[in-house]
Amino acid sequence: MMKLGDDELTLILSHLQDPHDRTSFSEVCKRFLTIHALTRTSIRLIEPDSLHSLLPRFPNLTHFHCSAALSDNNLLFISKTCPNLKTLNLSFRPSSLHRRTFRHFSHRAISSLASRCRLLSAVSLRRRTGVADAGVAAICAASNHHLRHLDLGRCSLVGDGALEAIGRLNSLQVLNLEGCSLVTDLGLGFLACGPLTKTLKVLVLVECDRITDTGVSNLKIFSSLEELNLAECGPKVTDVGCVAVFEAVTGLKKVNLSWLVNVTDAAVVAMAEHGQKLVAVNLTGCELVSGVGIKAFEGHGCLESLVIPGCHYTSASDLECAVLGCKSLKYVELDKGLMFWLPLETQEKISRFCDLGWS
């Protein structure tokens, strides 16, 4: 075996896909351990205390994942040690200890990391509440041509300033702004002013409750959009904004309008008529949606999942028309309160054509 050169051993290691097999390879001898370290491209760090001793062993990392608490110094060390990172997943999983004693890394640290790691294609900073507009802008500026996935969910300091920088990105495909409550119509306007309108496929605006129909209407020029989540965006998002989007963006595959209490049948009908590629629709808590809207999916050729708990103005015959008339449908979810008054015959008919869930 010692007659094999490093290139041959590297080739052998490249064929080992199971992590346990790769670990076993590294335990053969020091030479094998060195080759394993040099070829390793991803790491998931559990204990930040091991950061300084662990990262220097793997100089070619391109994927880094850590959901634990990290300081500014931790982030600076990562940026210096791993300049070739392409995927940075720092989604935070808080514990009771973290909530009481830990202070998140700041936007200054993320800005410094962005200046060194300029090949980032996927970044998740979910629940890192120290991240603000300046840090996001630094990432966008440094990785403009590479960044395709950006998750800022629950980053409570992220607002319109960050969206102004994001709007200039020319490769971004996935943007998650869940719980970014500082985002307003102005920010959505920024998104609609740049090349992002031609590349973005997934947009999550859950709980961005300062936006209105004015901001939502800006989304009508996002020609590549396939998934749109407007759940819990508040009472100022109504049929006006939704219809504007549905009439213009005909490639949508997944739409979530949960708890938009002022959305009515008009928006749902527009969605069904223009969204011929729709696969999944969630209308949970849309109290003004009735059987008229639900029946609009009768004859739809692609819809597979229809979630409508809380759509109380829907009759048994409305449900039958929608389900029996939509041959592609695989799953329907209804309000569990309907289980007792919806005729058993209707439930059985629906169950013969698709799975029936209750919530």
Quote the pLDDT of residue 230. Answer: 99
pTM of the model: 0.91
- Phi-psi region for residue 117, left (φ > 0), alpha (ψ -120 to 50) or beta? beta
195: its two tokens: 């090349």
Buried b (16+ CB within 10 A) or exposed e, 306-332: bbbbbbeebebebbbbbbeebeebeeb
Residue 30 lies in a domain: no
- 279 phi and psi angles, rounded to 5 deg: -115, -35
Residue 76 lies in a domain: no
Return the CATH number at 315. Answer: 3.80.10.10
Residue 6 lies in a domain: no
Q: Measured between alpha carbons, how far is residue 223 from residues 144, 199, 201, 268 in Å?
A: 20, 8, 9, 20
Radius of gyration of the chain (CA): 24
User: Which portions of the chain are predicted below pLDDT 70?
Assistant: 1-39, 96-103
Quote the pLDDT of residue 27. Answer: 52
Total number of domains in the chain: 1
CB 38 within 8 A of CB 60: yes
**DSSP strand E in 129-169: where?**
149-151
Residue 187 lies in a domain: yes
CB 194 within 8 A of CB 171: no
Dihedral of the alpha carbons of 275, 281, 284, 286, in degrees to the nearest 10: 10
Residue 310 lies in a domain: yes
Count of CB atoms within 10 A of residue 90's CB? Answer: 26
Residue 79 lies in a domain: no
Q: Which domain holds residue 252?
A: 84-92+102-356
- For residue 176, give the H/E element and its range: strand 174-176
Quote the pLDDT of residue 41. Answer: 83
Quote the pLDDT of residue 254. Answer: 99
Residue 46 lies in a domain: no
Residue 72 lies in a domain: no
